[in-house]
């Protein structure tokens, strides 16, 4: 934006305020409170001299890099397919790709484990495969979102100038997709660097990430002090990496003449048709197989298969009057309602905060980067640190919100907001500056031009972001596990408890709920796919 066309300072402040306040109260203050209470010089010294910890840091970093690289490379194919081609079932497949990303790892991880060949059990290969499986949606949707707005004629121009398809990809498409690729990569890196469930489930005791180590120290060994040191170390490492990604991303920003996403084509040639069919089939099989394993698990008994667990969840509880003393771990159906309620609240909160934050970050230019990185921090902070921090921060007098029912959706919003920003920001940053200046020269005030162009442009990414936010809330486990109260269990919490039950019937009920969660996620994401398409058509 040229300097004469700046937005008024007051508007900028108003835009940045909700996110800044949200971040300060729900993240900064809790984490600082916890660190102030637990960090000591001794624990820092102890952590520094622990060679086992150095091993953990090293492992955490390289498995995350490897996982991110594989996820990005393997995600580009489906991203291209879903962005460029229109075919029956495209929306369903987009939704299907998203399901693993939102399922709690406790759930899908177990299903993944069931399908994994024994030779890969407890190996790094298993960890990386699972990370790709869980995070590929970030790349497919993040990169695909920009890809479908990239004019096809641009690559056509390169082709007529003599560039082969591969060369066009390397010289034109990838550089122009770079902002979205870096944005997606930084999210995937965050998730894989802080991986917890996958590593415990598939990596076994020999492979611990920092996140696992922090959890072990804080909850198993009661060593919150060293855990705090590790938490800071984790944050610093991630902060550096994310800042680097953000730097790459902002260096790559350029004015693209984006087109509304209406240029998807039906595959015409037999080669295109088989490409679409093969990729779709691969996606369906990869995602469906673990989900089918989930269903199979929900039907298992010690000596065969039965619908007992499904009857237990959905049938009348009067089935078992003979054992009135038997306990209830959790009310499965109530957890469904609870999860849904929290998801709606968390989505609303994170959309409002994420959208205003994105507009502020885009308008603030270089200064916006601080807010951008700040909002990403919760993703890079261990759930234990945030959970314990909230506990410590909100424990006194009038601020004793520890048991407030709002804490859970707020916690979810903390995790979902950075995703909203990551989805919206690349689109905002790619807005043609010329477009805005053109609007100004036509007599629109800076505010008017901004309203006409930016606000309209974020409709589509916001719809996508809403899907992500809702799904993240539905599947969130880490932060929730520290904030849950009896009677307010979300689905993932209920699932985790049931899976840990010593009774195999209740264990199977955990898989019943997991199946329900997967189906629910799929339905929501598919519904959002449909609405976001409607937004397209209106635009």
Partner 1 sequence: MNRLAATALTLALAASACASDSKQASEVAPSSLTLVAYDSFSLKPDSFDAFTKSTGIAVKIVTAGDAGTMLSKAALTAGNPEGDVMWGVDNTLLARAQQAQVFSPYKSSELPALEPTAVALVSGNLVTPVDEGDVCVNYDLVWFEQKNLDPPANLDDLLKPEYKDLLVVENPAASSSGLAFMLATIAHAGDSAWQQYWTSLRGNGVKVVDSWDLAYYEQFSGSTGKGDRPLVVSYGTSPPAEVIFADPRPDRATTGVIGSTCFHQVEFAGVLRGTKYPTAAGALIDYLVSKSFQELLPLTLFVYPARTDAALPAEFNDFAVRPADPLVVSPSDIEAESKNWIATWTNLVVR
Partner 2 sequence: MLEVRELTMRFEQRVLFTQASLTVADGEIVALLGPSGSGKSTLLKVIAGLLDPDEGRILLGNVDITTVPTHRRDIGMVFQNEQLFPHRTVAQNIEFGLRMRRWNSQRRAERVTELLELIGMSGFERRRVTDLSGGEAKRVALARTLAPSPRIVLLDEPLTGLDRELHDQLARDLHQLLRTTATTALVVTHDRDEAAVLATRVVAFADLTPRLPLAEAGDLR
Q: Which residues bind partner 1 (CB under 8 A)?
A: 34, 37-38, 52, 110, 113-114, 118, 122, 200-201, 204-206, 212, 216, 218-224, 297, 300-303, 306, 308, 323, 325-330, 388, 391-392, 395-396, 402-403, 481-482, 484-486, 493, 497, 499-508
How many other C-beta atoms are found inside a 10 Å radius of the C-beta of residue 10? Answer: 8
Interface pick for partner 2 out of 153, 319, 395, 400 (rule CB under 8 A): 153
Residue with Cβ nearer partner 2 (323 or 537)? 537
User: Contact with partner 2 (CB under 8 A): which of 221, 278, 399, 433?
Assistant: 433
Site residues (CB under 8 A) for partner 2, limited to 227-266: 252, 254-257, 266
Q: How far is the CB of 255 from partner 2 (least distance, A)?
A: 5
When CB distances are held under 5 to 8 angstroms depending on the partner's kind, the choice from partner 1, partner 2, none that residue 224 binds is: partner 1
**Beta carbon nearer to partner 2, 257 or 306:** 257
Helix (H) or strand (E) holding 276: helix 270-299
336 binds, among partner 2, partner 1, none (CB under 5 to 8 A by kind): none
- Distance separating alpha carbons of residues 364 and 375, to the nearest angstrom: 15
Nearer to partner 2, 121 or 153 (CB): 153
Residue with smaller CB distance to partner 1, 123 or 501: 501
433 binds, among partner 1, partner 2, none (CB under 5 to 8 A by kind): partner 2
Q: Which residues contact 246 (CB under 8 A, 6 or more apart)?
A: 186, 369, 372, 373
**Helices within 300-432 (DSSP H only):** 308-314, 332-364, 368-380, 383-393, 407-429
Residue 286 binding result from partner 1, partner 2, none, given CB thresholds of 5 to 8 Å by partner type: none
Nearer Cβ to partner 2, position 42 or 171? Answer: 171
Contact indicator for 188, 138 with CB cutoff of 8 Å: yes
On whether the CB atoms of residues 186 and 241 are closer than 8 A, the answer is yes
Q: Does the footprint of partner 2 cover residue 175 (CB under 8 A)?
A: yes
The stretch near partner 2 (CB under 8 A) out of 146-154, 239-247, 291-299, 489-497 is: 146-154
Q: How many CB atoms are closer than 10 A to CB 303?
A: 6
Angle at 40 between CA 39 and CA 42, to 5 degrees: 140
Please give, one letter per residue, the 3-state secondary structure of 108-150: HHHHHHHHCCHHHCCCHHHHHHHHHHHHHHHHHHHHHHHHCCC
Q: Which of 136, 143, 172, 495 binds partner 2 (CB under 8 A)?
A: 172
Q: How many CB atoms lie within 10 A of CB 526?
A: 18
Contact (CB, 8 A) for 385 and 228:
yes
Smaller CB separation from partner 2, 50 or 432: 432
Q: Rounded to the nearest 5°, which phi and psi values hold at 149? A: -100, 0
| Binding residues for partner 2, total number by CB under 8 A | 29
Helix axes 124-147, 174-193, angle to 10 degrees: 140
Residue 243 in tokens: 């800042």
Task: Choose from partner 2, partner 1, none: what does 285 bind? Cβ within 5-8 Å by kind.
Answer: none
Nearer to partner 1 by Cβ, of 39 and 435: the residue is 39
N-term to C-term CA, the chain: 23
Binding site for partner 2 (CB under 8 A): 151, 153-154, 156-165, 167, 171-172, 175-176, 252, 254-257, 266, 268-269, 432-434
């Amino acid at each position: 934006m040229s300097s004469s066309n700046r937005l008024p300072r007051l508007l900028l402040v108003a835009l940045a305020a909700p996110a800044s306040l949200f971040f300060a109260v729900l993240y900064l203050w809790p984490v600082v409170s916890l660190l102030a209470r637990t960090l000591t010089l001794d624990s820092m010294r102890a952590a520094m001299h622990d060679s086992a910890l150095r091993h953990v840091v090293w492992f955490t970093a390289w498995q995350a890099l490897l996982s991110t690289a594989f996820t990005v490379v393997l995600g580009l194919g489906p991203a291209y397919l879903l962005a460029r081609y229109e075919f029956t079932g495209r929306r369903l497949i987009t939704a299907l790709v998203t399901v693993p990303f939102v399922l709690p790892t406790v759930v899908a991880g177990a299903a993944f484990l069931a399908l994994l060949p024994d030779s890969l059990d407890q190996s790094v290969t298993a960890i990386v495969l699972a990370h790709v499986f869980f995070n590929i949606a970030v790349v497919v949707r993040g990169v695909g979102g920009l890809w479908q707005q990239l004019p096809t004629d641009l690559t056509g121009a390169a082709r007529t100038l003599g560039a082969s398809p591969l060369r066009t990809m390397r010289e034109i498409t990838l550089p122009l997709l770079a902002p979205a690729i870096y944005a997606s990569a930084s999210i995937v890196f965050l998730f894989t660097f802080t991986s917890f469930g996958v590593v415990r489930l598939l990596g076994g005791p020999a492979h611990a990430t920092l996140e696992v180590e922090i959890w072990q120290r804080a909850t198993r060994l009661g060593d919150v002090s060293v855990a705090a040191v590790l938490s800071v170390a984790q944050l610093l490492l991630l902060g550096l990496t994310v800042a680097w990604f953000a730097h790459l991303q902002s260096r790559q920003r350029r004015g693209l003449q984006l087109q509304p996403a209406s240029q998807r084509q039906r595959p015409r040639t037999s080669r295109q048709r088989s490409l679409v069919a093969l990729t779709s089939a691969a996606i369906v099989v990869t995602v469906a197989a673990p989900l089918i394993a989930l269903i199979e698990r929900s039907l298992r008994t010690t000596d065969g298969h039965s619908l007992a667990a499904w009857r237990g969840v959905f049938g009348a509880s009067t089935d078992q009057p003979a054992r009135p003393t038997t306990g209830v771990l959790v009310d499965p159906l109530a957890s469904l309602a609870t999860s849904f309620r929290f998801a709606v609240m968390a989505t609303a909160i994170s959309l409002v905060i994420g959208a205003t934050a994105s507009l502020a970050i885009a308008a603030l230019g270089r200064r916006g980067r601080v807010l951008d990185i700040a909002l990403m921090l919760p993703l890079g902070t261990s759930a234990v640190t945030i959970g314990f921090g909230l506990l410590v921060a909100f424990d006194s007098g009038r601020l004793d919100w520890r048991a407030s029912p709002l804490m859970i959706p707020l916690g979810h919003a903390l995790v979902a907001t950075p995703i909203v920003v990551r989805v919206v920001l690349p689109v905002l940053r790619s807005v043609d500056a010329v477009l805005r200046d053109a609007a100004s020269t036509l007599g629109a005030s800076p505010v008017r031009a901004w309203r006409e162009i930016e606000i309209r442009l974020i409709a589509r990414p916001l719809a996508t972001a809403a899907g992500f936010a809702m799904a993240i809330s539905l599947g969130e486990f880490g932060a929730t596990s520290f904030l849950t109260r009896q009677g307010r269990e979300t689905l993932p919490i209920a699932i985790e408890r049931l899976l840990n039950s010593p009774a195999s019937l209740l264990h199977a009920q955990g898989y019943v709920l997991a199946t329900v969660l997967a189906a629910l996620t799929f339905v929501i994401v598919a519904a959002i796919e449909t609405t976001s398409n409607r937004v397209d058509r209106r635009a």
